[in-house]
Amino acid sequence: MTKQFKLGCLAAVAAVLALPTTAGALKPAPHSPTGDYSVFNDCPTETSTVELCMAGVTTTGGVQVGKLSVPITSPWYLQGGLHEGSGGRLEFIPAADGQSLAMAPDEIPGGIFSVVNERRYPRFLRDFCKAFPKTATCKVTAVAEVVGEPHLNSTNLIFEEGVAFEIPLRVHLKNPFVGDRCYVGTAQEPIVVALTTGTTTPPPPNTAIKGSAGALEITDEGNKITLTGTSLVDNSFAVPGVTGCGGPQSLNVDREIDRVVGLPSPAGSNSAELGGSLYLGVAASVRASE
């Protein structure tokens, strides 16, 4: 395996780090690599075309859409394999159990009254939620879901310039009052985030922010690579309004949430900053460790 191929695959791992999903925590895989390679417990090593195993975890940052902040309060995980296709194109191969991307719902600060006007609700409910904000009735969770094909530019990621990773997504809001089908963005009108490890050039009122490719560590004679301190950022994307929101008696609250949250929100008024660690291992070494 060439050095160029290893570095190219490393870039793919770093770019895909920020990819969110709706799944829960990673499930145990049917095989169990050991030692330094235990991090690749869900790599599809049984697939003959897998040349590298990849794993990543996003632990810091968050997404700001309009007036709504969605901080990363629990890790976002990534596992899968990589294969060098025609023309040097890197092909992603799903995790062994099919659950390549996993994250738990993140809780939105301020709960239900961060997305609806509290004056519309009875005084007892307002007092209850202020006293017990963590109850299911009062808290609102958010999960970012991929709704289209992501695009990767590994050169831009390595050299910290231009768009490294573009991904279309929607944000799923959950609470009894907003219902179970409340989304910011849709498959037809997604939030398109163009992440970079370089410096952004957003329209106002946002100002430039800087990402980072991170620090590289190579171990086991080049068979394992660790990348720490990776930061992918974008604050130039636009955000559409919500759809499908409504609680008891099919109450439609789309317009109210849009008004409270400030949606639709134009480019230059939103941001995404995602950081964490990445791991890359030669598949043969991962198999040998089992």
For 181-231, write each residue's pLDDT tens digit. 999 999 999 999 999 989 999 999 999 999 998 998 889 998 998 878 999
Q: What is the pTM of this model?
A: 0.75
Return the pLDDT at 55: 84
Cis preceding linkage at 105, omega within 30: no
Return the pLDDT at 259: 94
pLDDT digits (tens, 9 = 90+) for 227-267: 789 999 999 999 999 999 986 544 678 999 999 999 999 99
Confirm if 14 and 277 have CB atoms less than 8 A apart.
Answer: no
**Residues 20, 22, 23, 25: what is their CA dihedral angle, to the nearest 10 degrees?**
60
Residue 13, pLDDT above cutoff 70: no
For 268, residues 6+ apart whose C-beta sits below 8 A from its C-beta are 202, 203, 204, 205, 206, 235, 236
Return the pLDDT at 101: 66
**280 bridge partner residues:** 54, 225
Find, among 233, 229, 167, the residue nearest to 196 by Cα. Answer: 233
Pick the more confident residue, 122 or 273. 273
The beta strand positions in 25-100, using DSSP E, are 52-65, 68-71, 76-84, 90-93
pLDDT digits (tens, 9 = 90+) for 67-124: 998 888 888 887 888 887 665 556 777 788 877 767 778 899 999 999 988 887 788 8
What is the C-alpha to C-alpha distance for residues 112 and 100, in angstroms, rounded to an integer? Answer: 31
3-state helix, strand, coil in the chain (%, to 5): 20, 35, 40
> What DSSP element (H or E) covers 278?
strand 271-282
**142 bridge partner residues:** 106, 173
> What DSSP element (H or E) covers 14?
helix 3-16
For 249, residues 6+ apart whose C-beta sits below 8 A from its C-beta are none
Query: To the nearest whole number, what is the mean pLDDT of the chain?
Result: 82
pLDDT mean over 281-289: 94
What is the C-alpha to C-alpha distance for residues 15 and 5, in angstroms, rounded to an integer? Answer: 15
pLDDT digits (tens, 9 = 90+) for 148-163: 766 666 667 778 999 8
